[in-house]
C-alpha cells in the first residue's frame, strides 16, 4: 500500500496525562505533513487544535467519557456540548462498560440515543464498544443496540487494549456494511494496519501513525 493512501485511512491524535501544550503544538505540526483523516486531543487542547488545523480539512475528534466509560450520562452530554462549542467534527464516545458487562443493555440503548440526539447534525458520533473486554455474544448484542440508537460508526477499542482481527470479521459478517468501523488498539505496524483494512475496517485509529506508515511504499 502507498504511504499517501494508507495515511488517508488513519485517524490519530495525542492524549496523555502529562501532556503539555508545547508538545501538542509540535505533534500537530508534524501531523499536518500527512493527509490524516482525523485528529483527537483531550478537552483542554481542543480549541488550540481547532486553530492549528484550520483550513487543512483534517477532522477534529473530541473524546467523550474517554477512556473508562465511567462518567454519568449528564457529564457525557456536557462534554458533547463543549465539543460542539469548540467546533469539533466528531466524537469518540466510550460507552457505559459497567452497564454492558452487567447485561443492562436498556440503559446502554437509552444513553446512546441521548448521545446521538445531543450530537445532532453538529458532530459525527463514533462510539467505543471496547471489544477487548467483551465476549462475542456481548459484542453482537451491543452492536445491535448501537444501531437501534441510531449510531452507525464504531471505534473498536479505547486506550490500552489490542484490536483483534477476528472482531472486524465478526462485525462485517453480522452487519455487512451497516457500520463504519475504525479499528483501534495497539496498531503499530504497516502490516497490522493493512490486514485490518483488508478484513473490512474503514479506518485505522493509532496513536503511532508514523510507525504504521513506515513500511508502506
Partner 1 sequence: MESGELNRSTLAALIDHTELHVDATYSDIQRLCLEAVKYGFASVAIHPVNIPLAVKLLKGSTVKVAAAIGFPTGAFTIDGKVFETEDAIKKGAEEIDFVMNVGAFKAKNHSLVADEMQAIRKATGDLITKAILETCLLTDEEKVAACQIAQQSGIDFVKTSTGFGEKGATVEDVRLMRQTVGENVGVKASGGIRTTQDALAMIDAGATRLGVSAGIAIIEGLGE
CB of 195 to partner 1, least distance (A): 26
Would you say 132 or 175 has its CB closer to partner 1? 132
CA dist 44 → 14, 21, 24, 53 (Å)? 12, 9, 11, 16
Would you say 1 or 73 has its CB closer to partner 1? 73
Would you say 51 or 98 has its CB closer to partner 1? 98
Beta strand 10-14 pairing with 90-94 = unpaired
| Concatenated DSSP letters of 117-159 | HHHTTTSEEEEE--GGG--HHHHHHHHHHHHHTT--EEE---T
CB of 20 to partner 1, least distance (A): 4
Would you say 115 or 197 has its CB closer to partner 1? 115
How far separated are the first and last CA of the chain, in Å rounded? 6
Contacts of residue 31, defined as CB under 8 A and 6 or more positions apart, other chains included, come to: 12, 39, 58, 209
Residues that bind partner 1 (CB under 8 A): 15-22, 42-45, 67-72, 74-75, 78-79, 82, 96-99, 101-102, 104, 130, 133
CB of 2 to partner 1, least distance (A): 35
CB atoms within 10 A of CB 120: 10
Would you say 135 or 208 has its CB closer to partner 1? 135
CB of 191 to partner 1, least distance (A): 28
CB of 183 to partner 1, least distance (A): 19
Amino acid at each position: 500500500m502507498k504511504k499517501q493512501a494508507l495515511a488517508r485511512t488513519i485517524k490519530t491524535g495525542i492524549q496523555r496525562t502529562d501532556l503539555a501544550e508545547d508538545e501538542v503544538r509540535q505533534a500537530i505540526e508534524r501531523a499536518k505533513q500527512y493527509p490524516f483523516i482525523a485528529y483527537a486531543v483531550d478537552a483542554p487542547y481542543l480549541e488550540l487544535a481547532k486553530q492549528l488545523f484550520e483550513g487543512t480539512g483534517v477532522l477534529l475528534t473530541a473524546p467523550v467519557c474517554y477512556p473508562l466509560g465511567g462518567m454519568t450520562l449528564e457529564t457525557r452530554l456536557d462534554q458533547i456540548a463543549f465539543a460542539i462549542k469548540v467546533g469539533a467534527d466528531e466524537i469518540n464516545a466510550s460507552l457505559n462498560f459497567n452497564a454492558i458487562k452487567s447485561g443492562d443493555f436498556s440503559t446502554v440503548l437509552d444513553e446512546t440515543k441521548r448521545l446521538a440526539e445531543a450530537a445532532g447534525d453538529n458532530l459525527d458520533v463514533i462510539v467505543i464498544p471496547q471489544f477487548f473486554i467483551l465476549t462475542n455474544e456481548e459484542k453482537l448484542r451491543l452492536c445491535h443496540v448501537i444501531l437501534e440508537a441510531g449510531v452507525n460508526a464504531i471505534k473498536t477499542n479505547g486506550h490500552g487494549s489490542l484490536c483483534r482481527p477476528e472482531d472486524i470479521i465478526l462485525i462485517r459478517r453480522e452487519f455487512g456494511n451497516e457500520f463504519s468501523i475504525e479499528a483501534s488498539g495497539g496498531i503499530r505496524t504497516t502490516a497490522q494496519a493493512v490486514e485490518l483494512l483488508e478484513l473490512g475496517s474503514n479506518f485505522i485509529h493509532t496513536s503511532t501513525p508514523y510507525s504504521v506508515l513506515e513500511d508502506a511504499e
